[in-house]
Amino acid sequence: MKTLIRNRAATVLAAGAVSLMALSGCSGMGSDSESGGEETQAEESSGSTEAPEESGDSAMAGSNLVGPGCAAYAEANPDGGGSVEGMAQDPVATAASNNPMLKTLTKAVSGELNPDVDLVDTLNGDEFTVIAPTDDAFGDVPKDDLDALAKDSDMLTKVLTYHVIPGQLSPDEIAGEHETVEGSKVTISGEGDDLKFDDSGLVCGGVKTANATVYMVDAVMMPSK
């Protein structure tokens, strides 16, 4: 009888141990499953980031731009005809007309200021480096002087063509003296953001169009003769 009781007790204890092990295993599986689920969610969350919106910096990526105003220019014109990418699609006079910083220059070269001065076909017809005064640059010219310049077709042509150099010059090539389409030489000094065009400071340069390289500057230059 005592032997039978001991055998039954051993059987019960063994069954209990098996049950405890089973419960422990199930509990561990649930914990691992929850942990694995959290890790999977974290991995999915980290891998499902949306593409960032294009900023001024990304708009300039891959472009050979120089000038302290380039970031502001690209941020203000992230897309469209006046953007870095947009200007590259058109010849320079057309590209300038799409740039909101070059409205006055566009009027000057297109015959809008003076019907006898229309340089659009000339500018669009060959390769050039264009030094482009911004609207702020023209705004610094006294109104009486600008009005007088607009009425004098010969002088207006001289001033505008003094801002044009035959051939395309990159920011690494631009420094030095260069003969302009007007005939006299413009002096470009410095490098990078500190480039000077005679006494005009660089806003943003190295902007490519279909046939030209553009350097936007903060003052209107005057030929020496």
CA distances for 121 relative to 83, 102, 116, 117, angstroms: 22, 18, 13, 11
pLDDT at 27: 41
- Taking the C-alpha atoms of residue 133 and residue 105, their distance in angstroms, rounded to an integer, is 7
pLDDT at 64: 86
- Taking the C-alpha atoms of residue 224 and residue 196, their distance in angstroms, rounded to an integer, is 16
CB distance 84 to 220 below 8 Å: no
Residues 116-175: pLDDT tens digits?
Answer: 999 999 999 999 999 999 999 999 999 999 999 999 999 999 999 999 999 999 999 999
| 191 or 56: which leads in pLDDT | 191
Least confident interval from 17-31, 43-57, 83-97, 156-170: 17-31
- Taking the C-alpha atoms of residue 66 and residue 24, their distance in angstroms, rounded to an integer, is 67
